[in-house]
Amino acid sequence: MTEDARAQDAAAWSDFWARNSASEANGCLPERWAAIEEAQKRAWRGFIAGLPEGARVLDLATGDGRVLRWMREARADLVLEGIDLAPELPPAPDGTKIQGGVEMEFLPFDDSSFDAVVSQFGFEYGDTSATAAEIVRVLKPGGTAGLMVHRGDGPILEHNRARQVQIDWVLGEVNAAGAVRKALNTPGAGAGVAAQVAAALAILGEAKFGSSSPAWEIPEALRRACIMGEKDGPQSVEATITAITDQAANEIGRIKSLAGACATADDRPALIAAFGVHGMGLRETTEVREPSGRALADFLRLG
């Protein structure tokens, strides 16, 4: 990954966590699938059950620290730390420590510092060869790694690819932002007419993709911005339009990153080989399934 790509990823994920910092937020998972978190929790409970008393655990690409929080709930004796590329993160869960702006490929820890290194939907986003070398370096002799990785055939990528199609439609094909801006700046039209344009596009988006889709959410957000703009002025509307389109661009970037991560995780021989050259092997692979029974991830134990 180039330095520019790293910077873009860091900015996109900082924006994501800034808007999804509530403890009940579901990360990259759609909110209606909150129940599948129980399957993820079970995988982590099973992993930490065999760790020694007072084990020190490092979570890579920790995000909002949800894995650390689940571990803390299950075992109060663990020493829990996390790192993430995003420089701006939600507060660390109670009893844990998180550092932002840290690359997995360059961990700021001494050799043999941790009893376990873990990652949920993080390892496969980076340079897996360099990160595997760092994991082995910071693990104590006999240490273990637990990685929950994406699957290209799973519902997470499927859901996000659908969102990408919807964003492309509303901001590309129908150019909602451009249409609202045009009405906003047309003499005799202004914020009131711009709000009507946005409302019409929201109706189209809802009819085509549903009321929970970006195709409805984005023009609806534009409509509300225009209504507020009747009081605050066109400059306020312009600023909000820019903020909305920037957020959409960040989401597209994250979806493309997700697709790349799925491809990396699906190349399992290469992923395992990245550890093998350092003497660490795959011990077990377990499917993590949503309530329907569909596999959403694989849990890899290495040691």
Q: What is the CA radius of gyration of the chain?
A: 22
Helix (H) or strand (E) holding 133: helix 128-138
Express each pLDDT in 105-162 by its tens digit. Answer: 999 999 999 999 999 999 999 999 999 999 999 999 999 999 999 999 999 999 999 9
Least confident of 65-74, 195-204, 286-295: 286-295
Express each pLDDT in 239-286 by its tens digit. Answer: 999 999 999 999 999 999 999 999 999 999 999 999 999 999 999 999
Express each pLDDT in 237-252 by its tens digit. Answer: 999 999 999 999 999 9
Tell me, what's the pLDDT at 28? 53
Q: What is the largest CA-CA distance in the chain?
A: 74
Residue 230 burial (C-beta neighbours within 10 Å; 0-12, 13-18, 19+): middle
In the predicted model, what is the mean pLDDT of the chain?
A: 91
31 or 253, higher pLDDT: 253
Helix (H) or strand (E) holding 59: strand 56-60
232 pLDDT band, cuts 50/70/90, is confident
Of the chain, the percentage scoring pLDDT greater than 70 comes to 89
Residue 5 scores a pLDDT above 80: no
Q: Phi first, then psi: what are they for 140, rounded to 5°?
A: -70, 155
CB neighbours of 178 closer than 8 A, spacing ≥ 6?
none
27 pLDDT band, cuts 50/70/90, is very low
Burial 125-134 (b: 16+ CB within 10 A, else e): bbebbebbbb
Express each pLDDT in 187-226 by its tens digit. Answer: 989 999 999 999 999 999 999 999 989 999 999 999 999 9
Eight-state DSSP code of residue 189: T
Q: Is the dihedral of CA 139, 145, 148, 150 positive or negative?
A: positive
Compute CA distances 11 → 18, 93, 103, 134, 138, whole Å. 10, 22, 13, 24, 27
| DSSP three-state, residue 286 | strand
Residue ranges with strand state E in 94-177: 96-100, 114-120, 139-150
Amino acid 287 reads: E
Report the DSSP beta bridge partners of residue 286: 299
